A and B are shown apart, each in its own frame.
Chain A
Amino acid sequence: MSLEIRAGELLALVGENGAGKSSLMNVLYGLYHPDAGDILLDGKPVRFKSPRDAIARGIGMVHQHFMLVPTLTVAENVVLGREPSRWGRMDPERACAEVAATCQRFGFQLDPRARVDSLTVGSQQKVEIVKALHRGAKVLILDEPTAVLTPQESDDLFRVARGLAAQGHTVVFISHKLREVLSVAERIAVMRRGKLVAEVKAAETSASVLANLMVGEGRTGTSVSEPYHPPTGGVVLSVEGLTARTGEGRPALQGVTLEVHTGEIVGIAGVDGNGQSELAEVLTGLRPIEGGQGTLLGGPLRHLTPAEARRRGVGHIPEDRLRRAVVKGMSVEENVSLGRQDQPPFTRGLWLDFAGRRERTRALLAAYDVRPQDPQVAIQGLSGGNQQKVVVARELDTRPKLVVAVQPTRGLDISAVAQVQARLREERALGAGVLLISLDLEEVLALSDRVYVLFEGRVTGTFTRPEFDEQEMGRRMMGADHG
């Protein structure tokens, strides 16, 4: 494939998961090596043996996954590899000063002395960008930089990106969010299966055209405008004045009150780090509550364990797939039985029922179009999206009465997103209550019948479908009407 990137432009790269976007950029950055073909920089062929060469030629990259050392400070992370030193001794003051200067030059608000693991995700993203700029990057590659950011933070980021472009920097960014791609980029390159399939001007295209290009002919993933579904039955979950702490002991939930009924999808909107993760953990028995009370499927919330939550009928799609949802090193069928290893058809008495397990797994893999459809392969042999499908399949297969779905479509491609969303609606239709926690406001809006906005561990707004007001929600998410 070949792709041309022009100086001073804002280029977006889009494509389905696994289309090869990250791979291409990693090649540009010298992390991977091309099997064939050349990279031409300013018209001359270059060979990058390692990122060091790429950095030297003014290429900077912000990776899809953070490449920060959490235990080091911002300054240390930024200067790593080009530390200012005197007689072999590192000069921390100069490091901080240099980093502060870079931050100021590009308009970032960061404390160089802060430890990275104490920063919000948005700030960490900024540290990544400062890292690249500090090395004098003229070409800045941003791989899915907005995946974890709030709309406001994303706007911030793009303001910076435009500024950089205006100063003559080249910015290449990868995103799955077509709306922002259309609004920010000047030019858009579309990749499919490792090939460049189109290059279009942002002004001359639309979301549906792009989607078609990405997915290929005949498949689309446009979201239909949803009708409102009023609850069909009683309360499956109600909490009042709920408080809980983070793992580090900071207050995370500070008096949350909410309800979920049978037959509705309730969305939790909010910026990352405002208590969503803890809320999900509390409801699935992974985190003890400190104060307040709640009833979950007819039982108290206090002293809930994951096993008890499952027994009562909670299905849980965790946010951190690799850590929480699948067991690496086990096969797909073993992962399908995880959490249900003590129920038929996965077990018979004390013994595992291999035949039953395989049969059920086969059925699920077929129903969810997981590829490859082999129950015996190791789960880590599946792509991220297919792993996620396995998780969704497993959790919904139990006919849960309450589904706690956290970021269920994170990192999925358009068709997979559509599929997972359809399944959640199906659960609603079947009479389950669904609690959808997502950082993607678009997704929350697309699916939910009611929305609670969470800010600093409190509910700062409640909306019901007919009266969804995106602007107002955004304001509430930022705590605008609050202390």
Chain B
Amino acid sequence: MLELLEALLFSTLDAAPALIFAALGGVLSERAGVVNVGLEGQMRVGAFCAAVAALSMPTPLAVLVGMVAGAALASVHGYLSIRWRSDQVVSGMAINLVAMAGGTFLLEALYSPNGTPPIAQLPRWSLPGLAEVPLLRALSNHPSLAYLALLLPFVFHAVLHHTPVGLRLRAVGEKPHAVATLGLSVAALRWGAVVGGGLLAGLGGAVLSTAVLDRFEQHTPAGLGFMALAAVVFGRWTPLGAFAAALFFSFGNALRIGLASSAPGLLDVIPQGFLLALPYLLTLILLAVQGQRSSAPAALGTPYEQESR
């Protein structure tokens, strides 16, 4: 039983980091009032650029490149939605589509449709104290970024609630006009959040190609960005909530896989497809039970216009 739990925990923690980073990116952007349905695309370019960069530089540095790439794509979204007050959903969907098709195209043009050549994977850290402790063992032997993913939500939470910039961020997502009349720049705050969100989503993507895998594979991130978006909403736009949601999704998936292998007889009763649907069904049920009313930032999705009051 303990072993089962341990395996479940390990599997959850191993799959969660990319989702956590991307979800945090979503929270950052959306707390400032900019809807970010483009997480999937930002993850994709992050994954791609990190893998490409890792071919010619140390992998940790390449991860930074991936982050910058995510931020660059997010900037397109920012430019359209902040500077030009475009519909944020439209420009988010658009960068997804472009990243999807463009990624496949570039991959094939530069390398081969099979993916980039293999790169040096990020090392895994074994935590000396834990390696022998049952259950807690599961916390050891994850890629370095996984530990960052466990830490970052708390840092983000602290920043959001205990620093000036966090206060301004919360304010600009609720009532940008209030922020503007105090002489702060709404655009600058939102730009910061969108670019920061892009950095995080790019990091999430980079995790996929440098830690989960050792190359960019043509299907990356296979819907994970939309999952992250769901985690943002499920987590009620808070860093810790999104973190919990991301862990929940990963856990649901790990549980599904674990169930299939630890109780083979189960599969004769419950079809695999049903188990596959389980995490999503659970999410739906939980959402239905908890209700979702009015937790979104008030100004989410509304472009800031000085004249409108």
Using Cβ atoms and an 8 Å threshold, which residues of chain B touch A64? Answer: 309
- In the complex, the answer to whether B163 meets A89 with C-beta atoms within 8 Å is yes
Whether, in the assembled complex, B183 has its beta carbon less than 8 Å from a beta carbon of chain A, the answer is: yes
A68 to B171, CA, bound (A): 9
How many of chain A's residues have a CB under 8 angstroms from any CB in B?
31
Interface of A is mostly: loop
Within 8 A of B (CB), among A1-57: 29-32, 50-55
Q: Contacts A90-B163, A90-B167; is A67 near B183 (CB within 8 Å)? A: no
Chain B CB within 8 A of A259 CB: no
Are A88 and B174 in contact, with the CB atoms below 8 A? no
A90 to B170, CA, bound (A): 14
Q: Is A254 an interface residue (CB 8 A)?
A: no
What are the residues of chain A within 8 A of B144 when measuring CB–CB? none
- Beta-carbon contacts of B161-187 to A below 8 Å, as 1s and 0s? 011101110110011011111111100
Complex: chain A residue closest to B158, CB-CB: A89
Determine the chain A residues whose CB is within 8 A of the CB of B175 once the complex forms. Answer: 67-70
Q: Does B298 contact A (CB under 8 A)?
A: yes
Q: In the assembled complex, how far is the CB of residue B302 from the closest CB belonging to chain A, in whole angstroms?
A: 12
B159 CB to nearest A CB, Å = 9
User: Quick check: is B56 within 8 A (CB to CB) of the other chain?
Assistant: no
| Binary interface encoding of chain A residues 284-322 relative to chain B, with 1 for a CB under 8 A from any of its CBs, else 0 | 000000000000000000000000000000000000000
What mask results when residues 80 to 117 of chain A are scored 1 for a CB within 8 Å of chain B, else 0? Answer: 11010100111010000000000000000000000000
Q: Does A61 contact B (CB under 8 A)?
A: yes
A70–B179 alpha-carbon span in the complex (Å):
12
CA distance A316 to B163 in the complex (A): 47
Q: Is A65 an interface residue (CB 8 A)?
A: yes
B309 touches A65 (CB 8 A): yes
A63 close to B (CB within 8 Å): yes
Residue A76 interfacial (CB < 8 Å): yes
Residues of B within 8 A of A30 (CB): 183
Task: Establish whether residues B168 and A80, one from each chain, have CB atoms under 8 Å apart when the complex forms.
Answer: yes
Residues of A contacting B170 in the complex (Cβ-Cβ under 8 angstroms): 69, 71-72
Interface residues on B, range: 20 to 34
Interface residue? A77 (CB, 8 A): yes
Tell me whether A69 and B178 are in contact in the complex, defined as CB-CB below 8 angstroms, given that A50-B185, A81-B168 are known contacts: yes
Q: Is B262 an interface residue (CB 8 A)?
A: no
Q: Interface on chain B toward A: helix, strand, loop, or mixed SS? A: helix
Contact with A along B135-170 (1 / 0, CB 8 A): 000000000000000000000000000111011101
Interface pair A61/B167, CB less than 8 Å apart: no
B183 partner residues in chain A, CB cutoff 8 A? 30, 50-55, 81
Q: Are B178 and A77 in contact (CB-based, < 8 A)?
A: yes
- The residue on B at minimum CB distance from A380 is B308
Find out whether the CB atom of A90 lies under 8 angstroms from the CB atom of B162: yes
Residue B290 lies at the interface, judged by CB distance under 8 Å to chain A: no
Q: A76, B167: Cβ atoms under 8 Å?
A: yes
CA distance A176 to B178 in the complex (A): 24
B162 in contact with A31 (CB, 8 Å): no
**Chain B residues with a Cβ under 8 A of chain A:** 162-164, 166-168, 170-171, 174-175, 177-185, 298, 306, 309
Q: Taking beta carbons and an 8 Å cutoff, which residues of A are in contact with B? A: 29-32, 50-55, 61, 63-65, 67-72, 76-77, 80-81, 83, 85, 88-90, 92, 131
Interchain Cβ contacts under 8 Å between A and B, 19 examples: A29-B181, A31-B180, A31-B181, A31-B306, A32-B306, A67-B175, A68-B175, A70-B174, A70-B298, A71-B298, A72-B167, A80-B182, A80-B184, A81-B179, A81-B183, A81-B184, A88-B163, A90-B164, A90-B167
Q: Told that A77-B178, A80-B179 touch, could you supply 13 new A-B pairs with CB distance under 8 A?
A: A32-B306, A50-B185, A67-B181, A68-B175, A68-B178, A69-B175, A71-B174, A72-B170, A80-B167, A80-B171, A80-B182, A83-B164, A90-B167
